[in-house]
Structure 1
Amino acid sequence: MDSSRPLRVGFVPEHFSTPIHFAKKYYGLDADLIPFPSGTGHMITALRGGEIDVGIGLTEGWVAGLGKAQQSESAEGDGGYKLVGTYVETPLCWSISTGANRSEIATPDFLQGGKIGVSRIGSGSFVMGYVLADVRGWLIPTAGVGTSHAQSSPYSDIVVLNTFENLRNAVNSGKADFFMWEYFTSKRYYDSGEIRKVGEIYTPWSSWKIVASTSLIQGDSLDPRVDDLMEKLNRGIKHFNENQNEAVKYISTELDYTEEDAREWLQTVRFPERTQGVDPKVVASTSDTLCTAGVLVMSKAVDSNAMIAKQR
């Protein structure tokens, strides 16, 4: 890889991306920022395909991708990327949505055996569908084999829809019965009456991590551009924390949120002072939950430490 060119950094163009914007605008972040509105699952594909170098996305998506690679018998065993940093410390609130006129779906209890809409297989919206099923007792382990969504699916169909707009359309048309997406991104569509909220669930882990392609990792060392990226993100986060009115203005004018929702979201989110490194306990806990939920196969080993290139 050409060490002189800017890194290609994948990110989700939502309110959480505001410190990335500040790092680029004020602190000389030298990177090509590539939006992935369809989320973490798409970034995993792009990392493995050499289309991006770094991804900033959801913890559960990254860990699920690496766990599946470890459990696979194919040559993709190293997963193509590793965890190098922490971007958000707080959990994520996943809102559960259905169509505006789907009166037959009153609560999450009505979703067992239904059609779940997801952006991609392996994305956060896919992974959290199985965490929801685990929490609500919808999973039936296969004796002697362990839990696997392929053996014991709590849903009649998994409908891959790629974008948030497609997901909203699908629950109104009946193509899907429900989908899961971050609460504040969903809220303006509740307010407009386009979709309806039927529940929510929080991740039991800190919600966003930074990963780098394995081509940027040599032993315990990261490519200097990755170190520089995280230093610039630290400064963008500091600017975010010290200039909340500017953050609200950016979110409410450049992104798809109201000023009121932006201010409410600010009360719920905490970014780290330093993005460098990942807590191994968080990754181990996420792996354990994903095994219990059937996203990963419980009977096959998962090495959480091997997923991390830089520990806290």
Structure 2
Amino acid sequence: MTDLKIGGVPEHFNYPWYLTLKNKEYTKENINLRWQDYHGGTGQMCKALRNGTVDIAIVLTEGIIKDIADGNPSKIVQTFVKTPLIWGIHVGEKSSFKKIEDLENATIAISRFGSGSHLMAIVNAYNQGWEIDKLKFKVVGNLQGGIDSLTNCEADYFMWEHFTTKPLVDDGTFRRIDDCPTPWPCFVIAVRNEVLENNFEEVQKVLDIINGETADFKDIDNIDKILAKRYQQKLEDIQKWLKITEWNDGKPITKNLITRIQNKMVSFNVIEEKKNSGEFIKNMYI
């Protein structure tokens, strides 16, 4: 039995992993795949990949590309969700900020530097024409930290996935000022280089299983009701999310895609320079 540790955010995007683990599909292939939730998001998972506490991570594309460029000894093996992620831009219920323009000089709550909430705040600032080097950040750890920092007026706005935070908008904890979609596929699967060297075939099997699950995921009976209950979402919100979300169909990730993303990240000042796109990826189906 091969032991592999996998991690991701505890959000609706990763429910297909829950189903395959529940059905012991990896065990049938002699793989002991153990899941861990990472509430701190991509920045926390990049750190876990670096120190070996996780082998496979479902991470935000922009976060892992930046971290591999900065020396993370991992490779992207495929896209997981190929549609953009919709980032909500939130302020506290009692905030005086009313529109996106009001936020130019405001303090941004981020889970950690290098995380999606950090990098997408830069993308949003670029989109608005603001000066990137004047952005002010406060590290808050996770979604709960974002809630606390906005409620206690320690930061002014916080960016997190639109549908995950929708219940907080509904109950008045947050006000959403705007949305900012990622200009690239949102989630990829990253694997530590050491694991790819030692357990290449096992990783292939893991990918085959999850791709088989996501291919038919939307056809599962009552999947909208199941997700709404599990993630405490309104049914109409989950139905909207399902409609706009597409998982990868098992195709390998290409150097062209990484190059296009790097070009955007350089223009957004998220990374300083473009690197050889082949250094970021591992084709699992050569």
Short-chain TM bin? over 0.9
- Paired residues in the alignment total 280
Mapping of 1:112-131 within 5 angstroms? 112-131=104-123
Q: State whether structure 2 residue 17 is matched by structure 1 residue 20.
A: yes
Matched with 1:260 is: 236
Matched with 2:76 is: 83
d(CA) in 1 for partners of 2:35, 2:246: 22
Q: State whether structure 2 residue 243 is matched by structure 1 residue 251.
A: no
Q: How big is the shift at 1:51?
A: 0.1
What fraction of aligned residue pairs are identical, expressed as a percent? 28
Q: How big is the shift at 1:14?
A: 0.2
d(CA) in 2 for partners of 1:138, 1:50: 38
The answer to whether the Cα contact below 8 Å between 1:130 and 1:295 also exists between their aligned partners in 2 is: yes
Matched with 1:148 is: none
Matched with 1:283 is: 258
Point out the more displaced range, 229-238 or 276-285: 276-285
Write out per-residue CA displacement over residues 236-278 of structure 1, whole angstroms, 9 at most, x where no aligned residue.
2134122151x2233222223232321221111011222x521
From 245, 255, 267, give the equivalent of 1:269: 245
From 139, 144, 158, give the equivalent of 1:165: 144
TM-score (norm 2): 0.92
SS of equivalent to 1:84: strand
d(CA) in 2 for partners of 1:254, 1:110: 36
d(CA) in 2 for partners of 1:204, 1:223: 31
Matched with 1:217 is: 196
Unaligned runs of 5+ in 2: 28-32
Q: How big is the shift at 1:27?
A: 5.8
Write out per-residue CA displacement over residues 250-308 of structure 1, whole angstroms, 9 at most, x where no aligned residue.
3222223232321221111011222x5213222112212221222211xx442222111
Q: How big is the shift at 1:224?
A: 1.4
Point out the more displaced range, 173-182 or 24-33: 24-33
From 258, 273, 276, give the equivalent of 1:303: 276
The answer to whether the Cα contact below 8 Å between 2:218 and 2:242 also exists between their aligned partners in 1 is: no
d(CA) in 2 for partners of 1:311, 1:138: 40
SS of equivalent to 1:308: coil
From 87, 110, 128, give the equivalent of 2:102: 110
Matched with 2:30 is: none
Unaligned runs of 5+ in 1: 70-76, 140-151
Amino acid in the other structure paired with 2:137: I
SS of equivalent to 1:6: strand
d(CA) in 1 for partners of 2:226, 2:113: 31
Write out per-residue CA displacement over residues 30-76 of structure 1, whole angstroms, 9 at most, x where no aligned residue.
41011111111100000101100000111111111112x1xxxxxxx
Amino acid in the other structure paired with 2:101: D
Kindly indicate whether structure 1 or structure 2 has the higher relative contact order, using CA contacts under 8 Å at least 6 residues apart. 1
Matched with 1:73 is: none
d(CA) in 1 for partners of 2:281, 2:139: 29
Point out the more displaced range, 165-174 or 251-260: 251-260
Write out per-residue CA displacement over residues 63-110 of structure 1, whole angstroms, 9 at most, x where no aligned residue.
11112x1xxxxxxx4x2111001111111111100010112x111111
Mark the CA change 1:63 to 1:56 in structure 2 (over 3 Å): closer, same or farther: same
Amino acid in the other structure paired with 2:283: K
Q: State whether structure 2 residue 203 is matched by structure 1 residue 201.
A: no
Specify which structure has the higher proportion of helix: 2
d(CA) in 1 for partners of 2:183, 2:111: 21
Q: How big is the shift at 1:214?
A: 0.8
TM-score (norm 1): 0.85
